[in-house]
Amino acid sequence: MTTFDYAPALESRTIVTIDPQYGHFINGSFTKGSNHFASINPSDETVLSHVALGSAQDIDTAVDAARVAYESVWSKLSGKERGKYLYRIARILQERAREFAVLESLDNGKPIRESRDVDVPLAAAHFFYHAGWADKLDYAGMGNSPRPHGVAGQIIPWNFPILMLSWKIAPALAAGNTVVLKPAETTSLTALLFAQVCQQAELPAGVVNIVTGDGSTGAALVDHPGIDKIAFTGSTEVGKAIARAIAPTKKKATLELGGKAANIVFEDAPIDETVEGIVNGIFFNQGHVCCAGSRLLLQEDVADEVLSKLKVRVAKIRVGNPLDKNTDLGAINSSEQLLKIRELSKSGDDEGAERWSPPCTVPEKGFWFPPTIFTGITQAHRIAREEIFGPVLSVLTFRTPQEAIEKANNTPYGLSAGIWSEKGSRILWAAQQLKAGVIWANTFNKFDPASPFGGYKESGWGREGGRHGLTAYLKDAESNNE
């Protein structure tokens, strides 16, 4: 038999220049920063750079800069002019797309195919989309002349660094806010590259400030009295802590938190595309996706067929160097996250679930976890309830559509859900019954700046994207400074 092994097809990393050390981006220029820590490449554990650990003092300086920029420049600028800055940023992101993609894959560990085809183009699209809103805020559904909140404090996760940055910064700026953004501890580099984009776009100093650091930096940002609005994407646990922290204040918040999405396969599903959708649902971005389809619910009479096709398909997933253009599954973002995935997977073993992974060799250095499927799972298993945030799929079965919905909704989360069926009325029925903010029917893990994203219940507050997302950065003209 002929074998067709793909030779390594590495994307060149020479397009990227990484400084040995970075400070913060405050008031239009880079500071020296202090208490630098290493930012590593999760695929081989080499040190990429050193980034500064933002202190409360750094946050204070950044918030002051954002406040001054808000009051003296940004709030005085017409929507039309703000929009033109955003268009500029969108264009520069497109021009430097490959550079961003390579840097993202180096820093995050995600396959270049995804950073190149998903993260970076979508990031540019978010700026482009919101640029158009900046001079049309009267039509955002908030009445005439809605106003920005002021200074937004934004904290983003490590799973989609530049994309989450764009989800946060683009609507904030379009609405007329200025921002202080803190990237995730392990993935600061594309945010710092974005700072250069702001400089190239000649964005007024202080409109965007980026302070790198860890949880303590984030907490300082949340607690800062000069912040009017918090936007956070991350774990439900931290989201709740933020909700408590701002309880005594007038601060507004949007929170995009965890999920444990059910991906429901009915007997009449288009099987091959369903298998693709299941794979895309849980193995996209190493499963580091809050809306990942991590609970597969199979109708019993197609369960065996789907499962056997799924295993054949999963065996074809190419795990390896994120910069290889043929890699499907890259590195786990950090040793800490790898530990968590291992721990939760072990609980699956301990609770009697059956673990399956295809034969696959992973590099020796770096943080890796093979694509994994657990069968024999019930709602009572930990891995059917807790967010693993890794390439681990839990498979459950159901007998009737009602049972599928009950199981799907039986979670404190409510971010997303998937439906696979060729029957239109059943899809609409299921979509109506599911308690989730994003429902993908016969598709999964699709994102668009025009499409609101966000969850029910403990998956968070508010939406991002579309008109719904924009309004989170606005208040109506009559409302007091609440």
Partner 1 sequence: MNERLKVKKTYKLFIGGAFPRSESGRTYEVKGSDGGFIANACMASRKDLKDAVVAARSAQSTWASATAYNRGQILYRIAEMLEGRSEQFVKEISASEGISELKAEREVLAAIDRWVWYAGWSDKLAVLAGSTNPVSGPYYNFTIPEAMGVVGAIATEKNSLLGLVDAIAPIIVSGNTCIVLASGTAPLSAMTFAEVLATSDLPHGVCNILTGSKEELAPWFASHMDINGLDISGVDEPSLVSDIKTAGAQNLKRIHSFSKVQDPKRILAFMEAKTIWHPIGV
Partner 2 sequence: MKYYGLVDGTEASLKNFLKSLPGVDQVGAEARAAMLGTRSIKTSSKKKAIDLAISMVDLTTLEGADTAGKVTALASKAVRPDPTDPTVPSVGAICVYNDMVSIARKHLDLVGGSHVPVAAVCTAFPSGRATMPVKIQDTIDAMDAGAGEIDMVIDRGAFLSGHLMDVFEEIVKIREVCGEKVHLKVILETGELVTYDNVRKASFLAMLAGADFIKTSTGKVAPAATPPVVLVMLEAVRDFYELTNKRIGVKPAGGIRNTKDAIKQLVLVNETAGPEWLTPSLFRIGASALLNDLLMQRMKIRDGYYASPTYVTID
Which positions touch partner 2 (CB under 8 A)?
1-9, 113, 117, 268-274, 276-277, 316, 325-326, 422, 442-443
Q: Which is nearer to partner 1, 203 or 441 (CB)?
A: 441
How many distinct helices (H) and strands (E) make up the chain?
A: 16, 20
Q: Report what 7 binds from partner 1, partner 2, none; CB cut-off 5-8 Å by kind.
A: partner 2
Q: Which is nearer to partner 1, 320 or 414 (CB)?
A: 414
**Could you tell me whether strands 262-265 and 416-420 are parallel, antiparallel, or unpaired per DSSP bridges?**
parallel
Q: Which tokens belong to 46?
A: 């080499």
Q: Report what 439 binds from partner 2, partner 1, none; CB cut-off 5-8 Å by kind.
A: partner 1
Please choose, from the candidates 63, 20, 54, the residue with its C-alpha nearest in 3D space to the C-alpha of residue 34. 54
Q: Which is nearer to partner 2, 154 or 299 (CB)?
A: 299
What are the residues facing 209 on neighbouring strands? Answer: 180
Q: Report what 215 binds from partner 1, partner 2, none; CB cut-off 5-8 Å by kind.
A: none
The least CB distance from residue 374 to partner 2, in Å, is: 24
The least CB distance from residue 358 to partner 2, in Å, is: 13
Residue 441, helix vs strand vs coil: strand
Distances (CA, A) of 401 to 305, 322, 409, 434, 459: 18, 39, 12, 11, 24
Long-range Cβ contact pairs of 424-430 (< 8 A, separation 24 or more): 426/266, 426/268, 426/401, 429/401, 430/264, 430/401, 430/404, 430/405
Q: Report what 196 binds from partner 1, partner 2, none; CB cut-off 5-8 Å by kind.
A: none
Q: Report what 364 binds from partner 1, partner 2, none; CB cut-off 5-8 Å by kind.
A: none
Q: Which is nearer to partner 1, 88 or 463 (CB)?
A: 463
Q: Which is nearer to partner 1, 366 or 418 (CB)?
A: 418
User: Measured over all CA atoms, what is the biggest interatomic distance in the chain, rounded to whole angstroms?
Assistant: 74
Name the strand (E) or helix (H) holding 208.
Answer: strand 208-210
Q: Which is nearer to partner 1, 309 or 457 (CB)?
A: 457
Name the strand (E) or helix (H) holding 71.
Answer: helix 56-72
Q: Which is nearer to partner 2, 177 or 445 (CB)?
A: 445
Q: Report what 2 binds from partner 2, partner 1, none; CB cut-off 5-8 Å by kind.
A: partner 2
Contact present, 340 and 371 (Cβ < 8 Å): no
Catalytic residue (one of 11, 256, 458, 464):
256
Catalytic residue (one of 11, 185, 198, 290):
290
- 130-140 burial, b at 16+ Cβ within 10 Å, e below that, comes to bbebbbebeeb
Q: Report what 412 binds from partner 2, partner 1, none; CB cut-off 5-8 Å by kind.
A: partner 1
The least CB distance from residue 476 to partner 1, in Å, is: 8
Distances (CA, A) of 29 to 103, 178, 214, 304: 21, 16, 21, 58
The least CB distance from residue 124 to partner 1, in Å, is: 12
Name the strand (E) or helix (H) holding 349.
Answer: helix 335-350
Please choose, from the candidates 400, 364, 394, 370, the residue with its C-alpha nearest in 3D space to the C-alpha of residue 382. 394
Pairwise CA distance, residues 186 & 100, whole Å: 16
The least CB distance from residue 270 to partner 1, in Å, is: 10
Pairwise CA distance, residues 186 & 161, whole Å: 10
User: Is 256 marked active-site?
Assistant: yes
User: Is 276 marked active-site?
Assistant: no
For binding to partner 1 (CB under 8 A), which residues are involved? 125, 141, 236, 239-241, 243-244, 246-248, 255, 257, 412, 414, 427, 431-432, 435-443, 446, 448, 450-454, 456-458, 460-461, 463, 466-468, 478-480, 482
The least CB distance from residue 10 to partner 2, in Å, is: 9
The least CB distance from residue 327 to partner 1, in Å, is: 23
- Would you name the residues annotated as active-site residues? 256, 290
